[in-house]
Structure 1
């Protein structure tokens, strides 16, 4: 594998520098978590109706808009709490 392939993700898109990891991780986590939780919540609330997809996408968008900034603010606190509770070897 050549160096170009190692520095790209998909379809030739270059990887971001490591300094963006503290933003990319909460971004991906918030997308995944809000997707799953809003899907289950919407399905539980209205069932599989004809307008399910539009209602779910609206719920997902709103929940992501809240979750991403909350994750950015909460992760430093959670990391400190985890470090206080877990041994480091």
Structure 2
């Protein structure tokens, strides 16, 4: 399998983090607001799509800051 260059690490991290978190959070909020009823998957997909469009650029911008703060707070070997 071909691997991406190291310079794409933050972008790839942001892609996966935003996909997972927006899917999980939109799913939870959709269940809380409407329950698991007919049309749930359609509502969830729509909520996820809106959430992901917002989450991806935000995670892309915030990830480097979060990594920097984490390095300041956590011991390194």
Higher RCO structure, 1 or 2 (CA under 8 Å, sep 6+): 2
Q: Which residue of 2 aligns with 1:82?
A: 70
Unaligned runs of 5+ in 1: 1-7, 9-13
Residues 57-76 of structure 1: pairs in structure 2 closer than 5 A: 57-76=45-64
Offset of residue 17 of structure 1 = 3.0
Structure richer in helix, relative to its length: 2
* 1:42 matched residue in structure 2: 30
After superposition, what is the alpha-carbon deviation per residue over 1:4-55, rounded to whole angstroms, capped at 9, x for unaligned? xxxx2xxxxx433333222111101110111111111101110112111111
For structure 2, the 5+ residue unaligned runs are none
Cα separation, 1, equivalents of 2:10 and 2:55: 15
Q: Does 1:25 align with 2:13?
A: yes
Scaled by the length of structure 1, the TM-score of the pair is 0.77
The total of aligned residue pairs comes to: 77
Greater Rg over alpha carbons, structure: 1
TM-score (norm 2): 0.88
